[in-house]
A and B are shown apart, each in its own frame.
Chain A
Amino acid sequence: MSEEHGYGRLFWVSFIVGWAGIGFGLLSALSHAGAARPVALGAYVLGALVVHDLVLVPVVVAFADVVGRRLPAKARGSLLGAMVVSAMVALASYPEVRGFGRFPGNPSLLPRDYAAGLLLVLFIVWGVTAVLVFASTRRGLAQRKADGGPIEGDVP
């Protein structure tokens, strides 16, 4: 990725407008301090940043590195893609699967079995991935056969 450090008029205008918005948000939190609890809110915002950048990203980078290398080469792209989709859907639905907000007095809240819902989505994601891997493997074999090349083994 290349860097660009020329800051023109648009940037300086956006800086003034944007920080006015940030200032309005800070003022809003401070003027409703009893409800918005600005110190706690600030801790959550910074905490989200720290947890994401210093925990989640390194874990994902390390996982992709370690697992990615162990996946069968021909299917590596599709399998990593399926993992990305699965992880994102699982993360977004985690509060529902755990039923954190559920309470017995209101059965209309979180009325479904969300673990089953998540499994269904993952089943579809991995089913589609399996079909894609199978199709691309067949295509590759047919191509190599037509080219008269080797059809066995995995050239690194």
Chain B
Amino acid sequence: MSERLRRVDEFLRKLTPPRVGPFREDAFPSKLHSERNAAWLGVALGATFAAAFLTGWLSHLIQRPPSWFLWPSRPAGLYRVTQGIHVATGIASIPLLLAKLWTVCPRLWTWPPFRSVGHVIERVSLVPLVGGGLFLLFSGVASITRWSPWPFSFPPAHYAAAWITIGALIVHVGAKLRQTKRALSRSNPELAAERAERSGRGGLTRRGFLGAAAAATGALTLTTVGQTVRPLAWLGVLAPRDPRVGPQGFPVNKTADKAGVIEAATSSSYRLAVEGNVARPLSFSLDELRALPQHQAELPIACVDGWSASAVWRGVRVSDLLAAAGARDGAQAEVVSLQPPGSAYMSSVLNRLHASDPDTLLALELNGAPLHIDHGYPVRLIGPNRPGVMQTKWVAKVVVL
């Protein structure tokens, strides 16, 4: 019996640590799996993921505001910047994450897999970190091209995955901060070896690999950021949108056909209602709206997909309509579309700051011409510092809350 146990022990000793496949000590001979490269890429990813998380969370708060959150209507282009940063940092993260994961891939095959309770926590937390990070970038890139190869709704899935990933990132930073500082310190012996490397016969150097990841990040950023930075629009050969292309020189997210509003929007019996918590409910035909005092404002449409473009809008001030209907000062209002009930983004709420802003309009014209039906004809909401999905098109009524 004892002889049999001894043989089992011996057998296990031979297996542990395993010496096959990726468990071999020489399985990953490349010097590119370096601590310093992992640290540099980690710092870069920490910055891009933090920026994408904060701007994404902000976008979520603006669209589903809790009671403690009041999003201002000024500066008019702030959301354009924050959401532009969200998408740009997400795109920039793709090469950085791929390079980082490749750099640390030998760690996956560490043996023994766990050494202490802390090590278990650290490694288990890598599952949501790596899986979540890859999912966020994949789903984000697919979503900005309007591709949805999944059975769930993008916003709640992306949002939940973002919290899971950022939580796991916090654990990872806590586990690796000391090691990262040491790796990047000038006293790290890897630094001298890195400096001595020359490109050529030895293949890609450590700095060359970092440079390639940086070049890919730069190339993707330069060729996509033109969808929101208009002077760079000509460079946007890989941007899902061109801010100059669309009806009236302006991109469209949801068309009138897809929204199912063509008949209602072009009907001669169209009327706009102002109702709800008002002293005098009002109703206007299109001609009556045109006869009201008109106001003009240059404002951007800033899409959650990261593209944005400015235009000159002309129409009736929402604050004038609310005053005419006898709404109380500081009232909020819900702007409701002609879209069939239950449609996504068929209404949006104007908080008190947006409802009273003099540039928040029910627009009838875009760049001096009547709105194209895909831009919301006959009437659309346009206001400063709002996500595009909250600039409700084909407006049927304004309900004062």
Which A residues form the contact surface with B (CB < 8 A)?
A: 1-8, 10-15, 17-26, 28-29, 32, 35-38, 40-41, 44-49, 52-53, 57, 60-61, 64, 68, 73-78, 80-82, 84-85, 88-89, 91-93, 95-96, 100-103, 105-112, 114, 116-118, 120-121, 124-125, 136, 140
CA A103 to CA B200, docked complex, whole Å: 47
User: Which residues, 209 to 231 on B, are CB-close (under 8 Å) to A?
Assistant: 209, 211-213, 215-216, 219-220, 223
Q: Identify which of B98, B151, B246 gathers the most chain A CB atoms within 10 Å of its CB.
A: B98
Partner of A14, one of B101, B173, B208, B216: B173
Identity of the chain A residue whose Cβ is nearest the Cβ of B150 in the assembled complex: A44
CA A102 to CA B165, docked complex, whole Å: 29
Partner of B237, one of A19, A121, A136: A121
A75 → B minimal CB distance (Å): 8
Is the beta-carbon distance between B251 and A112 smaller than 8 angstroms? no
B242 → A minimal CB distance (Å): 5
Contacts of A49 on B, CB cut-off 8 Å?
Answer: 127, 130-131, 134
Which B residues form the contact surface with A (CB < 8 A)?
A: 28, 30, 33-35, 38, 91, 94-95, 98-99, 101-102, 104-108, 110, 115-116, 118-119, 121-122, 125, 127-128, 130-132, 134-135, 138-139, 141-142, 145-153, 155-157, 159-175, 177-179, 199-205, 208-209, 211-213, 215-216, 219-220, 223, 236-242, 245-247, 250-253, 255, 257-258, 374
Contacts of A64 on B, CB cut-off 8 Å?
Answer: 30
Contacts of B148 on A, CB cut-off 8 Å?
Answer: 101
Question: What are 20 A-B pairs at a CB distance below 8 A?
Answer: A1-B34, A17-B167, A21-B168, A24-B163, A25-B163, A28-B159, A45-B132, A46-B127, A49-B134, A76-B203, A81-B208, A92-B141, A93-B220, A95-B142, A95-B145, A101-B142, A102-B146, A109-B241, A109-B252, A121-B237
CA A38 to CA B69, docked complex, whole Å: 27
List 20 additional contacts besides A10-B174, A60-B102, A108-B245; criterion CB under 8 Å. A1-B35, A4-B178, A11-B174, A13-B174, A15-B121, A18-B171, A19-B167, A22-B168, A29-B157, A48-B131, A52-B130, A57-B102, A74-B200, A77-B205, A88-B94, A89-B95, A89-B216, A109-B252, A118-B238, A136-B199
CA A141 to CA B387, docked complex, whole Å: 58
The 5 A-B pairs at the shortest CB distance, nearest first, are namely A14-B174, A21-B167, A25-B163, A117-B237, A7-B118
Contacts of B219 on A, CB cut-off 8 Å?
Answer: 85, 89, 121, 124-125
Partner of A74, one of B161, B170, B201: B201
Q: Identify which of B30, B172, B223 gathers the most chain A CB atoms within 10 Å of its CB.
A: B223
B133 → A minimal CB distance (Å): 8
Partner of A40, one of B94, B150, B202: B150
Contacts of A85 on B, CB cut-off 8 Å?
Answer: 95, 212, 215-216, 219
Dominant SS among interface residues on chain A: helix
Is the beta-carbon distance between A14 and B175 smaller than 8 angstroms? yes
Contacts of B156 on A, CB cut-off 8 Å?
Answer: 28-29, 32, 35-36
CA A79 to CA B123, docked complex, whole Å: 35
Contacts of A121 on B, CB cut-off 8 Å?
Answer: 219, 223, 237-238
Is the beta-carbon distance between B171 and A26 smaller than 8 angstroms? no
Assess A88 versus B171: contact at CB under 8 Å? Given A110-B145, A117-B223.
no
Contacts of A13 on B, CB cut-off 8 Å?
Answer: 174
Is the beta-carbon distance between A77 and B208 smaller than 8 angstroms? yes
Is the beta-carbon distance between A125 and B131 smaller than 8 angstroms? no
Partner of A7, one of B105, B125, B175, B250: B175
